[in-house]
Amino acid sequence: MINIMYYTYVLKSIEFDYHYIGLTSNLEKRLGEHNSGKTQSNKHYKPFQLIYFEEAETRDIARKREKYLKSAAGRRYLQKKLAP
């Protein structure tokens, strides 16, 4: 049985003050999709750089973590985690 890992990730627009939080099973491919404009919701903010990610064993766990990171508490957590 192949064990697929899922990732909750945070992208930062290089040119704008914009962050995107999502989940995927392939970080490299997903970053490429964002940077090529294939993601309609944020194509105007490209290019992006990956600034944070977490691994999860299941899609459900990654989805719950994504939901948390999009909450006010999750954004505070990210601010502390990503502070210089």
> What's the pLDDT score for residue 44?
94
> What whole-number distance in Å separates Cα of residue 11 and Cα of residue 69?
12
Q: Is residue 72 a part of any domain in this protein? A: yes
Q: Is residue 1 a part of any domain in this protein? A: no
Range of the domain at 29: 6-82
Q: Is residue 21 a part of any domain in this protein? A: yes
CA 32, 24, 11, 22 torsion-angle sign: positive
Structurally, the chain folds into a number of domains equal to 1
Q: Is residue 69 a part of any domain in this protein? A: yes
The band of 84, judged by pLDDT with boundaries at 50, 70 and 90, is confident
Rg of the chain on CA atoms, in Å: 13
Residues 6+ apart with CB under 8 A from 48: 11, 12, 13, 14, 20, 31, 34, 35, 42
CATH code of the domain containing 12: 3.40.1440
Model confidence over 4-51: pLDDT tens digits?
999 999 999 999 999 999 999 999 999 999 999 998 889 999 999 999
